[in-house]
Amino acid sequence: AQSVTQPDIHITVSEGASLELRCNYSYGATPYLFWYVQSPGQGLQLLLKYFSGDTLVQGIKGFEAEFKRSQSSFNLRKPSVHWSDAAEYFCAVGPYSSASKIIFGSGTRLSIRP
């Protein structure tokens, strides 16, 4: 069955430090993979997505993610975080079933230490 695991519920990093958010998935074929960000009280915004090709994907706001098939992972990275990056981050995988449904992880909340 398809599933997505984000093992870290809450992460705190210092402003200017590097960031890596973990995502592991279970999927029967080559997946489509997504990272979304949700600022407090807002909807979800797409950061980046992987469909095929280069396994290192660049997104908005200076984020990138690397698809590692052997590890079933799609970790999100940023070399230097800013206070405005404080938000909740969701990894997602799909599609499943006959429609464009995707499965979301439970999210990782990122806090930034001044």
Partner 1 sequence: DVKVTQSSRYLVKRTGEKVFLECVQDMDHENMFWYRQDPGLGLRLIYFSYDVKMKEKGDIPEGYSVSREKKERFSLILESTSTNQTSMYLCASSFPSGGGIEETQYFGPGTRLLVL
Interface residues with partner 1 (CB under 8 A) are 9, 32, 34, 36, 41-46, 49, 51, 90, 94-95, 98-102, 104-107
Q: How far is the CB of 22 from partner 1 (least distance, A)?
A: 15
Q: How far is the CB of 51 from partner 1 (least distance, A)?
A: 6
Question: Of 41 and 114, which CB lies nearer to partner 1 in the complex structure?
Answer: 41
Q: How far is the CB of 26 from partner 1 (least distance, A)?
A: 15
CB 64 within 8 A of CB 58: yes
Instruction: Report the SS3 class of residue 54.
Output: coil
Which residues, including other chains, have CB under 8 Å from residue 30's CB and lie 6 or more apart? 52, 69
Instruction: Report the SS3 class of residue 70.
Output: helix
